[in-house]
Every structure is written in structure tokens, then in C-alpha cells.
Structure 1
Amino acid sequence: MDITKNYYHKIPALIGTFLIFCGLLVFITTKPSTVQIKLGSNNDEQEPESEYLSQNSALKWSYKCDGEKCQKVLENNSTSSYITCSMTCGKNSQLWPVPQEIGSLSKQYVSFLPTEIDFSTNAMNLSKKLVDEAFEIFKRNIHVPDKQLIGSYNVRLSLNIQITDFSMTTITLSTDESYHLLVSQKKEKVVVAITAENFFGARHGLETLSQLIWYDKDTKSLNILNEADIHDYPKFKHRGVMVDTGRNYFAVEGLKRVITGMAANKLNTFHWHITDSQSFPFVVPSVPKLSQYGAYSQAKVYDAATIRDMVEYARVRGVKVIIEVDSPSHVQFGWNWGPEEDLGDLTLDCGSNTIDRMLNPFNINSLDILEKIYKEIGNLQTSTEIFHIGGDEIDSSCWFRYSNETYGEFWTKYLWLMVNRSYQANSDKPPKYVVIWNSDLTEDDFLFNYLPKESTVVQFWFGTIDFLIIERYKIIFSTVGKWYLDCGFGKWRESKGEACDPYTQWQIVYGYQPWVEYTMDIDTVLGGEVCLWTEQVGEDTLDTRLWPRTAAFAERIWSDPSHYGGRISIDVYLRLSTQRERLVQRGLKAEVLWPERCVQNPEFCT
């Protein structure tokens, strides 16, 4: 046997054993590190505790009410979370839109379980169905992220809703949307009474009640202010959001999120600009070629079943749907099949900006098709009290190509023919008001001669308003630069058109009061709408373009609070920030207002 060879063969093993022994010696004699392993966690969650957190874990941060705001402070004893501090701080708590009359609002609160709610109502028939559905939505809106609440709960919530008019199940301009909300604590019970003229006012009361309730993640408790007395009602009857689905198509789920946000802010009108030059996604069974030729694809259409589902989804949330098929301008795709069906040219070539064609005023078939469209709209809307026919941006240069007749008088006559067709199409429930966009035709006597002010509403977005004010036409304000939410993203094509700039900040949306800016009778103002034209808006940006700027609009159009000399108060910033959080909790992708530091120390940011 070769002893030397055998010895050298064992040297690597001996060295390895020696190194392991040395490593154990170092480990035993070294001070343990601060690395903590979370048992049962994924590897990517096993992070070392930072030296900063280790050294400062004993610090107790809390929030303390200072006037209308909560300040982040160090606290040696008991602590309060920001949400609990904010709910019990300031005269308006975190209510949005701010109610018209707050008789009292407690700074005290109690905790309860969301399963411990007793509910009753005197509503009957369809009103009861609507009230019951609204109550179910209310319960879902109480945001409790944890599967199990902790703490001691010996309080039950008793909720009663009383309404007077059981027949008011469709919201109109004459609907009384007021409500009275009374919250009081009686020993181990918090009693909530909502009284209203009808379902729609009661629904608003439920929305306000949900804003008196909050979840505190620090204490893992669901809380409610134990006393409140609120009388509330809107300043304006028409409080709307217009969404354009003609430039880009939006799935119904996205449009329902719009209505969810509207309900949270007590807005009551979803203005559906359903078609435009670029596409015609509206399925009209009596004229199927409109969507067959005009939709981007047959998967991107809105048929009767889809629209009825939207209308009912909106109604239980206090919102009515108004469908607009704009004409005689803003028509092209969807109207380009007339010659094939021996109907002649349904439109005329204008070759202008975004309005490439207009309805052919010399072809009676165009009006006949419009009447069929109006009939379908009337069948789908819950009410035809307000009927929107469009009338936006009628192109004078287009008309001069085809006739020497006076442009203004001719096209106002044509609008009058369109209005008559809306009456004929809905003879069983004729519109009380026909809405048109303002244009050159609404700036002089042409409008007065053909469209009476008793039954005509003008949606004002740009230009001159003096004639409308003098003649006392009813107005819906949607002023560009104030209540247009699509501006500020540059040009969407290189060859034609101008960009709608600049971006409209929420402070501008909030501060705009056209009824103050113009000398006018407030009774002629039906209300307002924010507008979202969608040349540069898609499914992924729908929410962020609307919210929270539309919430800012909602407080202006609901309660129209004073401006404190033109400066927006800290209270408004903080309440809107909280409202934005509510929208996120309800599934909306609302933009942030400011850095989180501004919530913790708002005096640094306002």
C-alpha cells in the first residue's frame, strides 16, 4: 500500500472540516443581527428590519384636531389615527358635497358591526324595491377590509327610512331631492331616521349617512358619529356628467363606474353622447345599418338590453340617463350607406375640421331616419322630459357650398324640423324640454323665431351668451376651460384642429360660478355638466380624467358654498382628499390631489 498517496487523498476533507469549525466559532461569538424572518411568508417578503425602524419603534405618532384640520404629533399616551381625527374635527366633518344645513354634528362616536343593522321603511311597490336596493348598496359601501373586526361592540344601528311619495320612481326636474338625516344614540342603540319626499331624496340621505361611518385600520373598528342633524337639498336640478362614446368606445363596466362615482357625489344626470362623426355604436333595430356601418366593430356596440341595464343601474343610484345622437353636424360614419339602399346621400360633404359631414337637408330620408332614432331613444330612457338633439357646431361654410339662402334662418328651421320629429317619435310622452348645444344660431333672433324659450334649453359651452340671458332661455352650463375635462393633452392629429389647452385643475372646476359671473336670473339656470370628450381618452384613463375633478364640480353644483374671498379653504382640500379615498374604495381609479404629507400637515400645502 502507498501510505503517502492515501494521506494526500484525505487532505481536502480535513481542510473542509476545519473551515466549518471556524465558521461555527465565529457565529457563536458574534452578536446576533436584527434580521427577522416572517414564518410562513414568501421569500420576497423576508426583508431585514431597518436600523431606523428598530430604533424608532417606540415612537407614538398621533393626530390632534387643530381648528379645521388634524396635525401629526408625537404622543406619549393614547393615539388617534388620521381618519378618526378628521371625522371628529371641523364643522363639516368629512362630508362631500357639504350639506346645505348642518344643525348639529357630534364629535363623539361609537363602534358597531356591519352585521348589526336593523332596517325598516314605509316605502311600497317599486319605491320599496328601489329603497331596498339602495340599502344593499349602502351596506357594500361601508368599507371594512379585514375579514374580522376586533374590539367590544355592544351597539346596534337602527335605520328607518320614511318617504311620502311612493309614485316618484323616475327622477325629473320637478323631483324633490331633499332629505332630513337625524342620528341619535339611545343607550346601546344608534337610531338613524331618514325622511324624504321620495326615494331619490332618501337615497341621498343614505349617501350622507355612509359618510358619517368610517373604518379605523389601527383599532380595526367600524365607527359612526353618534349624533347628527342634517337638512339637505340641491341648489340646482340638473347636475350632470357628459361622456362621449363616439370618439372611443367604452365597455359598460367603465360607464357604470362613472355612475357609481356620480352617486357618491349626488350627481343626477348621465348625459350619454353616444355617437359622433367617428363612430355610431348605437344599435337602432329599425335602422340596423347605422351601427353596422358606423361601429368600430360589432363587438363595440350598445344594444337595447345593454342600455336598459345601464338605465336601471343608474336609477337605483339616483341618476337619470339622457341619450344624445348629435346632428345635423357631427355625422359621418354610420350615415354613409344611403345610395346603396336607394335613399340618396344622407349627408353632405363639408370637408371641415372634425365635422366632416352634415345631414343632407334636401333629403327627407335623413329626417325619417332621425325620427326612428328618436323613437328608440324614447323607448330606452325612463323619461323623455328632457330630450337632447345635439345641434353642436353647425358649419356655415358647408351650407354656403349648396345654397344662397340665409344660413342662420335655414338651419334654425332645420333644427325646428328635428324638434318636431322628436315630438312625433314620442307622441305618447312628448318632451317637455328639448336641449341643443349653443352655436351661432343661438346668438340672435333665429333661435327666438323657431325654438320657443318655454320648451328649449341651451347647453352653453363656448361663445356669446348675452342673447340667451336677455331672452331668458333656460341654460345648462358646460363652459370650456372651466367644466371641460379633456383639455390639456395636446393635439390629437397633426393636420387639422387645435389643441384644447390648458389642463383644467380641480380648483378651477370648483371655483367656477357662471351664475355669478354673468348677470342673470338664477331661475333660468337648470344647472351644469362637466364634459369629457374622448379623442384622447381610453378605458384605462376614463376614471382619472373624471375623478376627483368631477367631485369638485359636484359640491359646486349641489350646495354652491361661498369662496371665502376667492380662496379655497383647507377644509375643502381635506374633505375632497377624503372623498377621493372613498371613490378609490368603491373601485374608481381617482387621481391623487397632493402628496400624503399635505394630509398630515396641510398648512404646508395650501
Structure 2
Amino acid sequence: MRVSVCKVYMVNNIFSMIAFSLYIHLVLTFTTVYGWSWECNNYNGYCTRVITQSTLTPTYPTLEVCKLLCGEKDHLNLWPYPTGSITSEKDILLINSQNIKFELQDTTTKTFLDDVVDYFRSNLNIDKSSPCQDSSNMIIVLQSMSEDLSLTLDTDETYSLKTSTLDNEFRVEIIGNTVFGVRHGIETLLQLLVPYQKGDEVCLATLKSVQVYDKPVYRHRGLLLDSARNYLSVNTIRKNIDAMAASKMNVLHWHITDSQSFPLEAPSLPNMTKYGAYTEKSIYTSTDVEELVAYAKIRGVRILMEIDGPSHAGNGWQWGEQAGLGNLAVCVNQQPWRSFCIQPPCGQLNPANPNMYKVLQQLYGDIQQMVPNSGIFHMGGDEVFIACWNATEEVLDYIKDKPRTEETFLDLWAEYQNKSVAVFDAAIGNDKTRIVVWTSHLTQPDVIQKYLPKERYIIQTWVPDTDQDLITSLIKLGYKVIISTKDKWYLDHGFWGSTSYYNWRAVYNNKMYSQLHQSVLGGEVCMWGELVDDSNVESRVWPRAAAAAERLWSNPQTTARAAEGRFFSHRERLVKRGLKTEAEIPQWCVQNEGECSSYL
């Protein structure tokens, strides 16, 4: 009896093991062959993650493929979405990633476009490459209507993209009014090409027929990076430029010096970094700057360098007396700092010392060699602390025949500004460059016309959203403005003092002053550098800066709620390009659109 029971137990155990093995086999087969896929809800345009089963509803192997086909046809999951016309057929075509060829014009633009081709190949959204059967070859035609290679505030970035299919050849024609329009068209094409797994093969999937006409609403679409408070490596700056290019931003506003440090190597003024750099390795050489300028240009980004003054200038300027030039700056590192500046350490340029202007001219000349003049230069001009000059004997001697009133000090500040522009013009050899300054006491509507001619100056506003009257007044007076809304686009806020953190929705919903007003050149999001360095600046900036990128490219009438699916997709693109971006929502919400609309 015991033997019989044992045999029955063994037989049952064997059957259990066989059943378990079969179950594991089925699970592995199901997971490998079917696994997760995505289904399009044509009612709301959302892609939802499902387990593939026999169904009449089409499913797609990846979320990226689903989002090409699902949703509003005038978006195509692009970021920023185009401002012009879009037509497309919701039909997938597979591309052989190993057989992509380019046709370029044999003109002066060819070298630049060759670099754009290299950029395209390095950013193809594909993890591996293997022969892809039953797929089309792709030919990409790039054409610029202009041979002008200069990148300025007035550069035309318009482009069109059109596809066609003949036999086994998929043809993409990208035409730009300039090479920078062509570059933006390439960026759009990269977003339209997504991986498609076929067994061991990886193809590229795209829409069979697409036509896009696109151009930005605003000419100035910027990100400010501050590498003076904390040094940012050249590689970190490059990665931010990469993210800007992916988002079609076109201005890196480089706040490179401040009272804390002077890390910019000026070949004719070696004492600036000797006295001002944190370490001998925390320096941007002229070669570093030139290479960054070239790197950025291929990505459609121009570098707008800011040398702040007369305030925010301290360390790096202390060598004047030893060199027989007198005090180039005053109140440097003076304590108690609250009596001499807005933020420690203190320091302001010395408007009473003529040698200071000679040094400025040399500095501007060196910068001109590193950053070719693009017709615009930033001179800072914010947070001048009158109490510093009012406590400096040589400054008081300089204005001794005038009353010690606010107007006298504003006159002195304006004198500094006019002399600085004069030596800038002398250094670069022309007087046509537009000068950007921050809003300040000098730019108040009741005094600005006395001090700053509207033909020469662009005003960058950093007032809160509630202070639209200042922007209105400046525009009515005829000034061009760049908007950096302090309580929406200051990305350093929320980590110090009583400031608030602005999530991507707040950044996106910051409506520009007017889409149609020509006096608004554009805007910038700003990452001031007190609390960021190489370890965290990418995640503090991205993907929030990309929300501003669409605001500045398209200035959409809809809110962040309508854009969130495309935004989360774009964040995934940035991650795949190696950016350490901040997570905005759980991955489940990305994979199940519309299920987390009230999250956060």
C-alpha cells in the first residue's frame, strides 16, 4: 500500500513538473513573441499599453510607433509642434537603417550640411543596426535657398519637409531658407524615425507620406547657463547644447563671469583668470570657447556671451593696483556684504578709473576673436548697488561737484554704460551691434529714454508675470524686449529662500506677451548657478527648458494638458540622447496616456 501511494505521488509529481515546464515555456513564448504592445484609442488619440491578443483593434510593437499613428495628425508627436501646415497619411513604412543616403548641393553650404549629416547619423533613434529585410532604402535631399552661413538674430529658420515613395525608395526632401532651417528639418525627421523590431532585426519606422511647413514664431529662443557661480565643464555645456538642438532652441546665453569668479581666459589679460578662476582647471580657454561656438552652430545655436557690469564684477578684477592701473573694481569681497551688494561676494566696476575702460576694451577685443560678432552682445547691467559707489572715496571725488542724489548716481551709471559701449565698438570695429541689458533702475520707463537709445539697446525683462505693465511701457516707447518671466522661467527657483519651484506645466503655460507684436524678440529660461554644477544642472534644466522651447517656437493657444503626451515623448528622446533629465511622472503614466491627467 505504501509503495502504491508512493508511485501515485511520483506520477503526480512528474505530471506537475511537466505542466510547470509547459507553463514556463508558454510564458516565455508569450512574452518573447507577444509581450506588451500598444493600442490606439481613436476617440481620444491616446496610446494604451495592452497584452497582445487576438483582436480586431490594431496594436503596435512600441509606444513610439503607436504615437506616430495615433492622435491628431497635425502633431505627429513632434516637439515643438510645427506652426505651419502638416499633412500625413497614417500608414507605416519600414526603412533600412543601413541604407540611408544623402544628396547635397555642391555649393558653399556643403561643408556645413556635411556636418549636419554627421549630426543626423549620430542621433538616429536606434539601439543597434542589423540587416533589415523587406524595407525601403532612404534618400534624404538637403537644400538651402541661401548660401549665407551666418547665424544672427535675423536668420531665417523656415523649412519644409516632404516625403515620397517610388518602388523600394523612400525619398525625403528638406528645403530651408537657410542651412539652419535645413538643420531644423533634420531634427523633425529624427523625431519621425523610430525603431521597429522585427525578430533580431531593427528597422526604422516612419510615416509613408508626410508634408511639413514650419518656422518659429520668435527669433530668440534661449537658455541662460551661469558658469560663474559654479564652474560647468565644457562637456556639460555641450550636452545642454545638444538638448537645445533637439528642442529647436537657438540661443545659449552664457553668463560666464560674475563677482564670484572670472573663468574666461582673455589672452591679452592673463590676470583675469589668475585672480578670478576657482582653480587652474576651472578655466575656459580661447580654444574651448571657439570649439563650443562651432559645436553650437552646427546645432543651430548661437552663443550670446554676457560680461556683466558694472555690478556682479569682483574676483578677477583685483590686480589693477599691482599693475599700476589703480582700482579696476571697488567693494570687492567687502564685508558686511549687505551694505555693499545684493549677494556676496561684493564687487562693482570703478566708473571713476579711465584704466578700467581700457581693460574692458581689451577684454571685448579678445571675446570678439573667440565669439565672432553676431550683431548682439549682452552687457548685464542689473542690480547695481548705489551704496557701494556711495561708500567709495574715489567715486565720490569723481562726482564731488554734483549732489549726492539718486539721479546723480543714475547719471554715473549711464556714463559707465555709454563708455562701455564706446570701447566695445572700438574693439570690434563697428557701432552696429545691438546691446542687451537686464531691466533695472536705468530701464524704468520714466528714465530709460534719457539714458539708453532704443535704436541700440534690447531690454531683457526679468519681472514677474504680474508686472506686464513694464513690458507694455517699454514696447510703447519703441524698445525691443526679450522676456524671462521671473516667476515662471527662473529654473533655479524652488531650491532657496521663499522661491517656488515651477514644474514643466508652469513653464509651458507662461504665455508670451503677444504672438504678433514685433517688439517681442522672444524669451529665455534661466538657470542661475548658485546651486548647480556638473552633478545636477542637466536635471534641473531639462526637460523643463523644452517646455519653454515649444512656447517660443509655436506659442500655442492650448495649455500643457493638451501637450503632455508629446512632452513626455520628448523627455524620453532626451534621455536616449544621454541627457540626465528630471523625471516628470511615473513611467506607467507615460505608457498609459490620459490615465494620470491630474497627477501632481
TM-score, normalised to structure 1, is 0.86
Q: Deviations over 1:388-415 (max 9, x none)?
A: 1111111122233344152222212221
The letter of the residue matching 2:353 is: N
Q: Verify the 8 A CA contact 2:340 2:385 in the aligned structure 1.
A: no
Larger displacement relative to structure 2 (49-58 or 65-74): 49-58
Output the amino acid matched with 1:202.
Answer: V
Which of 49, 64, 71 lines up with 2:39 in the alignment?
Answer: 64
* Partner SS for 1:114: strand
Distance in 2 (alpha carbons) for counterparts of 1:52 and 1:156: 36
The Cα offsets for residues 168-202 of structure 1, whole Å up to 9 and x where unpaired, read as 11211221110010012222111111111211111
1:202-221 superposed matches below 5 A:
202-217=182-197, 220-221=202-203
1:110, 1:273 → 2: CA distance? Answer: 45
Match of 2:548 among 550, 553, 559: 553
Aligned to 2:102: 119
1:597 aligns with 2:577: no
Residue equivalent to 1:110? 93
Q: Which runs of 5+ in 1 are unaligned?
A: 1-21, 37-47, 491-498
> Are 2:378 and 2:435, in contact at CA under 8 Å, matched by a contact in 1?
yes
SS at match of 1:227: strand
What is residue 415 of structure 1 aligned with on the other side?
A: 417
1:182 to 143, 162, 166: 162
SS at the partner of 1:195?
A: strand
**Partner residue of 1:191?**
171
When structure 1 is superposed on structure 2, of 596-605 and 334-343 the one drifting more is 596-605
1:287–1:374 distance in 2 versus 1, CA, 3 Å: same
- Residue aligned with 2:486, SS: coil
- 1:395-434 alignment runs, 5 A limit: 395-402=385-392, 403=396, 404-405=404-405, 406-427=408-429, 429-434=430-435
Partner AA of 1:100 in structure 2: T
**Gap change, CA 1:333 and 1:218, over 3 Å in 2:** farther
The whole-number CA distance in structure 2 between the counterparts of 1:535 and 1:58 is 51
Instruction: Give the letter aligned to residue 342 of structure 2.
Output: N
Cα gap change, 1:366/1:446 in structure 2, threshold over 3 Å: closer, same or farther?
Answer: farther
**CA distance in structure 2 between the aligned counterparts of 1:474 and 1:223, rounded to whole angstroms:** 44
2:531 counterpart residue number: 536
Q: How far, CA to CA, are the matches of 1:442 and 1:535 in structure 2?
A: 26
Q: 1:352 aligns with which of 336, 341, 351?
A: 341
Match of 1:482 in 2: 488
Q: Which amino acid aligns with 2:112?
A: L
Counterpart residue number, 1:14: none
Amino acid paired to 1:76: Q
Task: Determine which of 37, 50, 67 is the counterpart of 1:86.
Answer: 67
Q: CA deviation at 1:542?
A: 1.5
Aligned to 1:201: 181
* 2:40–2:59 CA contact under 8 A, matched in 1: no
Equivalent residues, number: 553
1:19 alignment partner in structure 2: none
Tell me if the contact between 2:481 and 2:520 (Cα under 8 Å) persists in the aligned partners.
yes
Tell me, what secondary structure is at the counterpart of 2:518? helix
Secondary structure (helix, strand or coil) at the match of 1:523 reads coil
- Segments of 4+ moved more than 6 angstroms: 25-30, 33-36, 48-59
Q: Distance in 2 between matches of 1:554 and 1:193?
A: 25
For residue 570 of structure 2, the aligned residue among 566, 579, 598 is: 579
Q: CA deviation at 1:339?
A: 1.6
Correspondent of 2:363 among 373, 381, 398: 373
Q: Provide closer, same or farther for how the CA distance between residues 58 and 416 of structure 1 changes in structure 2, counting only shifts above 3 A.
A: closer
Residue 239 of structure 2 is matched in structure 1 by 257
Q: Is the 8 A contact 1:60 1:79 kept in 2?
A: no
- Give the residue type in structure 1 aligned to 2:564: Y
Structure 1 residues 319 and 55, CA, compared in 2 at 3 Å: closer, same or farther? closer
TM-fit CA distance, 1:144: 1.7
Cα deviation 1:508-532 (Å, max 9, x = unaligned): 111112314xxx9711111111111
Whether the 8 Å CA contact 2:264–2:283 is kept in 1: the answer is yes
Quickly say closer, same or farther: Cα 1:514–1:222, change in 2 above 3 A: closer
* Structure 2 partner of 1:280: 262
Q: Which amino acid aligns with 1:108?
A: D
Q: Between the two proteins, what is the percent identity of the paired residues? A: 35
> Which shifted more, 349-358 or 530-539?
349-358
CA 1:447 to 1:149, structure 2 compared with 1: closer, same or farther past 3 Å? same
Distance 2:453 2:13 in 1: 96
**Change beyond 3 A, Cα 1:367–1:155:** same
Alpha-carbon distance in 2 for matches of 1:388, 1:598: 42
Is the partner of 1:259 in helix, strand or coil?
Answer: helix
Query: Among residues 319, 331, 336, which one is paired with 2:301 in the alignment?
Result: 319
Contact 1:123 1:163 in 2 (8 A): no
Q: Displacement of 1:483 after TM fit?
A: 1.0
Partners of 1:50 and 1:415 in 2: CA distance: 77
In the TM superposition, what is the alpha-carbon distance from 1:232 to its structure 2 partner?
0.3
> For residue 450 of structure 1, what is the aligned residue in structure 2?
451
Contact 1:170 1:315 in 2 (8 A): no
Matched, 1:163 2:166: no
Structure 2 unaligned segments of length 5 or more: list them: 1-5, 332-338, 397-403
Question: Residue 122 of structure 2 aligns to a residue in which SS?
Answer: helix
Which amino acid letter does the alignment assign opposite residue 93 of structure 1?
L
| Aligned 8 A contact 2:160 2:214 in 1 | yes
1:298 aligns with 2:288: no
CA distance in 1, matches of 2:356, 2:340: 19
1:56 to partner: Cα distance: 8.5
Tell me the amino acid that sits aligned with residue 328 of structure 1: P
In 1, distance between residues paired with 2:30 and 2:178? 59
Aligned-pair CA distance for 1:32? 3.9
Which residue of structure 1 aligns with residue 401 of structure 2?
none
Deviations 1:198-241, CA, capped at 9 Å, x for gaps: 11111111111111100134763311211111100010111111
Q: RMSD value over aligned CA atoms?
A: 2.7
Whole-Å separation in 1 of the counterparts to 2:366 and 2:11: 81
- Secondary structure in structure 2 of the residue aligned to 1:413: helix
Q: In 2, distance between residues paired with 1:184 and 1:523?
A: 37
Matched, 1:235 2:217: yes
* Corresponding residue of 1:5: none
Q: 1:326 to 1:53 in 2, by over 3 A?
A: same
TM-score by length of 2: 0.87
